[in-house]
Amino acid sequence: MNADRYARVRDLFFAADELSGAARQDFLETEIGDDQELMAEVLSLLDEHDADFAQREGAKALPVPAPLELGQAAEAGGDLVAGDPVAGDAVAEPRRAAETANGMSASEKTHPAKSDSSRAKSPQNKASDTQRAEKKVSASEITQRGSERTHASPKDFESRGSKDRTSPSELLLASKSRRARRINSGWLWLAAVLPTLIVGYMTYHSVSNSVQLALHNELTGVSNSVELATGRFLDDKAQLVQSWARQSLIRESILRLVELSDRKSKLDVLESAPLSAQILSELRVLSGKPDVKFVVWNQSFTTIASWREDHSDLGHPVIPSGTSDVARVLRGETVVYGPDRGDGPASLTEDEVGAVDESLEPMMACIVPIRDADSEVVAALLVNSIGLFDEFNELFHESSVTSGLDIYAINRDGVMISLSPHAANLFHRSQFDMDPDSIVAALRVSDPGAVITSSTRDQIVRRSLPLTESASAATLGESLVRLEPYSNYAGELVVGGWRWIPRWRFAVVVEKDVRDAFAAARIVWYSFLLLGSLLTVTALVSAGRLARSSARDHAAVHPLSRYEIVSELGSGGMGVVYKVKHMQLGRNAALKLLRSDRQNREDQLRFDREARLAASLTNPHSVTIYDYGRSEDGEAYCVMEYLSGLTLQEVVARSGFQSIGRVLFVLRQVCEALGEAHSLDLVHRDIKPQNIMLSLDPSIGDWAVVFDYGLAKPLSPENGTYQTREVIWAGTPMYMAPERFRSPSVMDPRSDIYSVGCVAYYLLAGRPPFAECDPESLFALIISEQPIGLGIHRGEDVPESVRNCVFKCMAKNAADRYASVGELAEAIDALRVEFPWTSRDAADWWKQHGEV
Q: Is 313 helix (H, G, I), strand (E, B) or coil?
A: coil
Which residue, among 680, 743, 672, 751, has the nearest Cα to 717 in the 3D structure?
Answer: 680
Which residue, among 549, 507, 263, has the nearest Cα to 396 in the 3D structure?
Answer: 507
Same structural domain for residues 546 and 650?
no
pLDDT score, position 616: 82
pLDDT score, position 35: 83
Which of residues 115 and 807 earns the better pLDDT score? 807
**Could you give the CA distance from residue 169 to residue 48 in angstroms, rounded to a whole number?**
15
Same structural domain for residues 203 and 299?
no
Q: Tell me whether residue 701 is in a domain.
A: yes
The CATH number given to whatever domain includes residue 824 is 1.10.510.10
Same structural domain for residues 768 and 827?
yes
Q: Tell me whether residue 228 is in a domain.
A: no
pLDDT score, position 382: 94
Which of residues 58 and 780 earns the better pLDDT score? 780
Amino acid at 62: L
pLDDT score, position 798: 92
pLDDT score, position 335: 93
**Could you give the CA distance from residue 846 to residue 698 in angstroms, rounded to a whole number?**
11
**Could you give the CA distance from residue 747 to residue 621 in angstroms, rounded to a whole number?**
22
Q: How does pLDDT run across 394-404, given as a tens digit for each residue?
A: 999 999 999 89
Q: Tell me whether residue 309 is in a domain.
A: yes
**Could you give the CA distance from residue 372 to residue 468 in angstroms, rounded to a whole number?**
46
The sign of the CA dihedral 42, 48, 54, 60 is: negative
The CATH number given to whatever domain includes residue 467 is 3.30.450.20
Domain carrying residue 570: 558-644
Q: Mean pLDDT across the stretch 96-100?
A: 35
Same structural domain for residues 145 and 182?
no
Give the confidence band of 559 by pLDDT, cuts at 50, 70, 90. Answer: low
Domain boundary among 578, 612, 644: 644
Domain boundary among 492, 517, 542: 517
Instruction: Please state, rounded to an integer, the average pLDDT across all residues of the chain.
Output: 75
Mean pLDDT comparison of 37-51, 153-167, 312-326, 827-841, highest-scoring range: 827-841
pLDDT score, position 234: 94
Which of residues 188 and 246 earns the better pLDDT score? 246
pLDDT of residue 168 exceeding 80? no
Give the confidence band of 242 by pLDDT, cuts at 50, 70, 90. Answer: very high
Q: Mean pLDDT across the stretch 55-75?
A: 38
Q: Are 663 and 773 in contact (CB under 8 A)?
A: no
**Could you give the CA distance from residue 209 to residue 524 in angstroms, rounded to a whole number?**
13
pLDDT score, position 840: 93
pLDDT of residue 707 exceeding 70? yes
Beta bridge partners of 480: 498
Most distant CA pair in the chain, distance: 139
Q: How does pLDDT run across 648-697, given as a tens digit for each residue?
A: 999 999 999 999 999 999 999 999 999 998 888 888 878 999 889 999 99
Domain boundary among 343, 359, 389: 389
Same structural domain for residues 269 and 146?
no
Q: Tell me whether residue 582 is in a domain.
A: yes
Q: Tell me whether residue 733 is in a domain.
A: yes
Same structural domain for residues 603 and 718?
no
Which of residues 89 and 455 earns the better pLDDT score? 455
pLDDT of residue 498 exceeding 90? yes
In the chain, what percentage of residues exceed pLDDT 70?
69
**Could you give the CA distance from residue 209 to residue 211 in angstroms, rounded to a whole number?**
5
Q: How does pLDDT run across 23-53, given as a tens digit for each residue?
A: 788 888 888 888 887 888 778 777 656 555 4
Q: Are 361 and 307 in contact (CB under 8 A)?
A: no
In the chain, what percentage of residues exceed pLDDT 90?
32
pLDDT score, position 86: 31
Amino acid at 80: L
Q: Tell me whether residue 159 is in a domain.
A: no
Give the confidence band of 90 by pLDDT, cuts at 50, 70, 90. Answer: very low
Same structural domain for residues 536 and 575?
no
Residues in binding site for ATP: 592
Which of residues 649 and 611 earns the better pLDDT score? 649
pLDDT of residue 500 exceeding 80? yes
**Weakest-pLDDT range from 154-168, 442-456, 790-804:** 154-168
pLDDT score, position 821: 93
Q: Tell me whether residue 394 is in a domain.
A: no
pTM of the model: 0.43
Q: Mean pLDDT across the stretch 284-306?
A: 91
Which of residues 684 and 286 earns the better pLDDT score? 286
Stretch (H or E) spanning 123: helix 123-132
Same structural domain for residues 593 and 661?
no
Give the confidence band of 548 by pLDDT, cuts at 50, 70, 90. Answer: low
**Could you give the CA distance from residue 4 to residue 95 in angstroms, rounded to a whole number?**
9
**Weakest-pLDDT range from 189-203, 311-325, 492-506, 619-633:** 189-203
pLDDT of residue 6 exceeding 90? no
Q: Mean pLDDT across the stretch 570-586?
A: 80
Q: Mean pLDDT across the stretch 412-432?
A: 89
**Weakest-pLDDT range from 188-197, 616-625, 661-670, 724-733:** 724-733
pLDDT score, position 765: 93
pLDDT of residue 546 exceeding 70? no
Beta bridge partners of 303: 297
Beta bridge partners of 683: 713
Q: Are 695 and 842 in contact (CB under 8 A)?
A: no
Give the confidence band of 753 by pLDDT, cuts at 50, 70, 90. Answer: very high
pLDDT score, position 9: 75
Same structural domain for residues 628 and 680?
no
pLDDT of residue 530 exceeding 90? no
Which residue, among 579, 244, 198, has the nearest Cα to 381 in the 3D structure?
Answer: 244
Number of domains into which the chain is organized: 6
Locate all alpha helices (DSSP H) within 437-498, ordered by sequence. Answer: 459-463, 469-475
Which residue, among 150, 106, 102, 126, has the nearest Cα to 5 in the 3D structure?
Answer: 106
Same structural domain for residues 705 and 578?
no
Q: Tell me whether residue 735 is in a domain.
A: yes
- Residue 339 preceded by cis peptide, ω within 30: yes
Which residue, among 363, 386, 369, has the nearest Cα to 328 in the 3D structure?
Answer: 369
pLDDT score, position 346: 65
The CATH number given to whatever domain includes residue 616 is 3.30.200.20
Same structural domain for residues 385 and 408?
no
pLDDT score, position 262: 74
Stretch (H or E) spanning 594: strand 588-594
Which of residues 570 and 832 earns the better pLDDT score? 832
pLDDT of residue 250 exceeding 50? yes
Q: How does pLDDT run across 341-385, given as a tens digit for each residue?
A: 766 676 655 444 434 444 467 889 999 999 998 999 999 999 998
pLDDT score, position 117: 35
Q: Mean pLDDT across the stretch 142-159?
A: 35
Same structural domain for residues 26 and 107?
yes
pLDDT score, position 452: 47
